[in-house]
Amino acid sequence: MVRFEAWLLKGLLGLMWALPIWMSSLTPQFCTSLETLKDQLNLTLRRRYLKHNFPINYTIEVRYEEVFRLNNISKLMNDSADVRDLQDLWVRITETDIKRILEVLPERHPTRRKYLANLDSLFAIVQQSYQSQNSDERDYPESIENIWVRLGDRDYQGWKSVRPKSLLDTCYRTMHCLFKECFLRNGSQYDYCNIQHWRQAKGTQG
Ligand SMILES: *[C@@H]1O[C@H](CO)[C@@H](O)[C@H](O)[C@H]1NC(C)=O
Ligand SMILES: *[C@@H]1O[C@H](CO)[C@@H](O)[C@H](O)[C@H]1NC(C)=O
Ligand SMILES: *[C@@H]1O[C@H](CO)[C@@H](O)[C@H](O)[C@H]1NC(C)=O
Ligand SMILES: *[C@@H]1O[C@H](CO)[C@@H](O)[C@H](O)[C@H]1NC(C)=O
Ligand SMILES: *[C@@H]1O[C@H](CO)[C@@H](O)[C@H](O)[C@H]1NC(C)=O
């Protein structure tokens, strides 16, 4: 009997190993908060508030690491990062990106009042929900650890100019890729991590 139980346990553990890497433990509450954020990040709103409301070709200065694209995900996955590492990174970088745009906006700018202030609050809810389920201390692989260090570096050199919309366009895409469990509906199997998906969807989802 004991042996059988041990065998069963081993089998179960083996099974857990075999679960696909994407099956993390995002809670329904988290997904709901992310869904709300997603709706506010739709292309219509991004265009209106992050492009049309700014001077043409307006850019802001960010750290290189504050630009987090689909390419970065595949590169880091290949460099021993797992999904959870990248989710942590996404949460941190998105927070910074929203703040970067807020920093350049005067108090009364319509993008701040009608859009970003609200987006910032919605993101705070996402962040809280994320942290309440992922509060364990983790060791990151070196590739990720280096990024954390550079994100916090006070003497950072060599900033990059980016358009505000482009910053949140990339957040939007990487969000779909890294939290795809929250966005898969009716058995839809979009490959959100594939840049090709977004090229095809251009104009409707961006
Ligand atoms: C984006 O959201 C706004 C406000 O909820 C809505 O009016 C608009 O139709 C949405 N656009 C798309 C492309 O879904
Ligand atoms: C904006 O940038 C594009 C290419 O990046 C350039 O072709 C265009 O002339 C610029 N427009 C203005 C008003 O600077
Ligand atoms: C993403 O890739 C670009 C270009 O290689 C790099 O400059 C940037 O630091 C990377 N961002 C992250 C978060 O790894
Ligand atoms: C993946 O990693 C290997 C070695 O770590 C490297 O040779 C290869 O070029 C990498 N591929 C990509 C797409 O980054
Ligand atoms: C997907 O599910 C939603 C409800 O969750 C439903 O309203 C919608 O019609 C479904 N779409 C398709 C293509 O089945």
Mean pLDDT, range 136-163, rounded to an integer: 94
Reported as type and span, the H/E element at residue 123 is helix 117-133
Which atom belonging to ligand 4 lies closest to the Cα atom of 78?
1
What predicted TM-score, i.e. pTM, was given to this entire model? 0.83
DSSP secondary structure string for all residues of 68-114: --HHHHHHHHHTT--HHHHHHHHHHHHHHHHHHHHHHS-TT-HHIII
* Residue nearest (by alpha carbon) to ligand 2 atom 1: 57
Q: What is the pLDDT confidence band of residue 4, given thresholds at 50, 70 and 90?
A: low
The sign one gets for the Cα dihedral 109, 115, 118, 123 is negative
Q: Which ligand is nearest to the CA of 59?
A: 2
Nearest CA to ligand 5 atom 10: 186
In tens, the pLDDT along 5-59 reads: 555 555 555 544 444 444 557 899 999 999 999 999 999 999 999 999 999 999 9
The strand pairing partners of 74, in sequence order, are none
The domains found in the chain, sorted by start residue, are: 27-201 (1.20.1250.80)
